[in-house]
Amino acid sequence: MPDSEEWYLQPIEFGYYSYADLKTGVIQIEDIAEINDMMRANAENRWRLHEANKPSGG
């Protein structure tokens, strides 16, 4: 698990939970980890799709 604040604050930017949820304990560390894993997988899938749709250099 990363030590940076970005790890638990970035999902807020994307609307997965609010800062208030984080501060009041509504969101748990396990939830944050799962959301971050999903966000990372989605980013990887978007990158792969982008790469697959590039015209071949031939």
Supply the DSSP symbol for 37: H
Would 57 be classed as within a structural domain?
no
Q: Is residue 41 part of a domain?
A: yes
58 located within any domain: no
Any domain includes 27: yes
Q: What is the CB neighbour count within 10 angstroms for residue 10?
A: 15
DSSP 1-58: ---SHHHHHHHHHTTSS-HHHHHHTSS-HHHHHHHHHHHHHHHHHHHHHHHHTSPP--
| pTM of the full structure | 0.79
Has residue 23 been placed in a domain? yes
Provide the domain limits for residue 21: 5-52
Q: Per-residue pLDDT tens, the chain, 58 aa: give them.
A: 566 888 999 999 999 999 999 999 999 999 999 999 999 999 999 999 999 999 886 5
